[in-house]
Amino acid sequence: MPDLWTDRFLARLIGTDSGCWQWTGHIAANGYGQFWLDGRTQYAHRVAYTAVRGLIPAELELDHLCRNRACANPDHLEAVPHRTNVLRGVGFCAHKARQTHCIHGHAFTTANTYRDPANGTRKCRTCRAAARARSRHRRRGVHRAAA
How many alpha carbons lie under 13 Å from residue 20 in its C-beta half-sphere? Answer: 16
pLDDT value of position 23: 98
CB 48 within 8 A of CB 16: no
Q: Which domain holds residue 56?
A: 1-94
Residue 62 shares a structural domain with residue 119: no
pLDDT tens, 15-51? Answer: 999 999 999 999 999 999 999 999 999 999 999 999 9
Pairing mode, if any, of strands 21-23 and 13-15? antiparallel
The pLDDT of residue 144 is 56
pTM, 2 dp: 0.73
Q: What confidence tens digit (pLDDT) does each residue in 97-127 have?
A: 999 999 999 999 999 999 999 988 999 999 9
> What local confidence, expressed as pLDDT, does residue 2 receive?
54
pLDDT of 147 > 70? The answer is: no
Domains identified in the chain, total number: 2
Could you give the residue ranges of the DSSP H alpha helices within 1-147?
5-10, 44-53, 82-88, 92-98, 125-140
Looking at the structure, tell me whether residues 88 and 121 fall in a common domain.
no
Amino acid of residue 16? T
> How many Å separate Cα 103 from the centre of its chain?
22
Cβ atoms 44, 51 nearer than 8 A: no
SS3 78: strand
Are residues 12 and 38 part of one domain?
yes
Residues 32 and 56 in one domain: yes
What would the pLDDT profile of 53-84 be if each residue is shown by its tens digit? 999 999 999 999 999 999 999 999 999 999 99
Are residues 109 and 79 located together in one domain of the fold? no
Verify that 76 and 28 share a domain, yes or no. Answer: yes
First to last CA, the chain: 94
CATH number for the domain harbouring residue 49: 3.90.75.20
